[in-house]
Amino acid sequence: MEYQTLGHSGLKVSPACLGTMNFGTTGGVGSCDEPDARRIVDTFLELGHNFVDTADAYTGGQSEEILGRAISGKRPLVVLATKAYLPTGPGPNDRGLSRVHLTRALEASLRRLGTDYIDLYLCHQWDPHTPIEETLATLDGFVRAGKVRYLGCSNFTASQIVESRWAAERLGLTPFIVLQPQYSMAARAIEAEILPACERHGLGTMIWSPLAGGVLAGRYARHAVPAADSRMGRLLASPVPMARAWAEGLLKDRTLHIADEVGKVAAELGTTSTAVALAWVRQRPGVTSVIIGPRNLDQLHGNLAGFTLDLPPDAIDRLDEISWSPDITAVTGMSLGRHQQSHS
Q: Please classify residue 338 by burial: count the beta carbons closer than 10 Å to its beta carbon, then call 0-12 exposed, 13-18 middle and 19+ buried.
A: middle
Question: Does 242 map to a domain?
Answer: yes
Question: Does 4 map to a domain?
Answer: no
| CB 209, CB 216: distance < 8 Å | no
Least confident of 55-64, 237-246, 308-317: 237-246
Question: Does 208 map to a domain?
Answer: yes
Question: Does 289 map to a domain?
Answer: yes
pTM exceeds cut of 0.85: yes
Backbone angles phi, psi at 311, to 5 degrees: -70, 135
Q: How many domains does the chain have?
A: 1
C-beta atoms surrounding 211 within 10 Å: 27
CA 38 to chain centre: 20
Question: Does 2 map to a domain?
Answer: no
Question: Does 1 map to a domain?
Answer: no
pLDDT given for residue 231 in this prediction: 73
Backbone angles phi, psi at 5, to 5 degrees: -80, 130
pLDDT given for residue 332 in this prediction: 36
pLDDT tens per residue, range 161-220 = 999 999 999 999 999 999 999 999 999 999 999 999 999 999 999 999 999 989 999 887
Least confident of 72-76, 246-250, 334-338: 334-338
Catalytic amino acids? 58
Mean pLDDT (the chain, rounded) = 91
Read off the CATH number of the domain in which 27 is found.
3.20.20.100
pLDDT tens per residue, range 27-77 = 555 589 999 999 999 999 999 999 999 999 999 999 999 999 999 999 999
Mean pLDDT of the 218-225 span? 75
Contacts of 102 (CB under 8 A, 6+ apart): 84, 135, 138, 139, 142
Question: Does 144 map to a domain?
Answer: yes
Q: SS3 for 292?
A: strand
The domain containing residue 128 runs over which residues? 9-340
Question: Does 102 map to a domain?
Answer: yes
